Amino acid sequence: MGTSIDTLQELLFDLAGVLPADTAPLFAMTTMVSLETNETYIREGENSRRLAFIEQGVIRTYTIKENGDEATLLLRWEGQFIASHDTIINRQPSRFIYRALEPVKLLQIDYDVLEEILKTHPEYEPLRNFFLMKMLAESLKMLESFVTQSPEERYRELLSNRFDLVNRVPDKYIASMLGITPVSLSRIRKRMYTKRKTII
């Protein structure tokens, strides 16, 4: 009886009116997974089609650039879904690595298994829909920030919206997610906390 299951049962009831007692076929196919700090969840080139709900901890999704540098695409934490999007959407080996930045607990299901369940239990379909829409909304929000804001503005917004996250994650990953180098982020922080009048 994990809190992830409780949360998802509640979500499923709110979305589709499915009673918790009727979710057994779904949760029977989920697995609770624990990851240590720095443990890799999904490797580069891996073909597993994993979808998971994070109960605790932070996972970093990153790729290795041609020059060997890492580029962080996403940071996901408790209460969010995480998915191997290359394998699930594009049906190709994952170009991304998913790694725990802290001890992580997540509730996992194989996407192929989920699809099978959905064939016989279409009442769970709203959950998949919710997950896709949520991911899409978040991606578009981030995309919007790249075309409307400067790196400094993106960092300021991250600070005001996700202060907890910024404090839990090393700056170099934050910088990478903002599309800049750690050196630049350090300079932005310096500008913010010295020159400027408005701290946040």
The contact set with DNA (CB under 7 A) reads 150-152, 170-172, 179-191
- Residue 34 beta carbon to a copy of itself: minimum distance, rounded to whole angstroms: 27
- Residue 142 beta carbon to a copy of itself: minimum distance, rounded to whole angstroms: 6
- Residue closer to DNA by CB (options 121, 168) is 168
Number of residues that bind a copy of itself (CB under 8 A): 28
- Residue closer to a copy of itself by CB (options 132, 183) is 132
* Among positions 148, 167, 194, 198, the unique one binding a copy of itself when judged by CB under 8 A: 148
Site for a copy of itself in 107-126 (CB under 8 A): 122, 125
Helix (H/G/I), strand (E/B), else coil: 115: helix
- Residue closer to DNA by CB (options 160, 186) is 186
Provide φ and ψ at 54, rounded to 5°. Answer: -85, 120
- Residue closer to DNA by CB (options 133, 143) is 143
- If one counts every other C-beta atom within 10 angstroms of the C-beta of residue 21, the result is 7
Sequence letter at residue 12: L
Check if the beta carbon of residue 41 is closer than 8 Å to that of residue 51: no
Closest listed residue to residue 102, CA positions, set 178, 164, 29: 164
- If one counts every other C-beta atom within 10 angstroms of the C-beta of residue 90, the result is 11
Would you count residue 183 as binding a copy of itself (CB under 8 A)?
A: no
Look-up of token digits 């996403």: 74
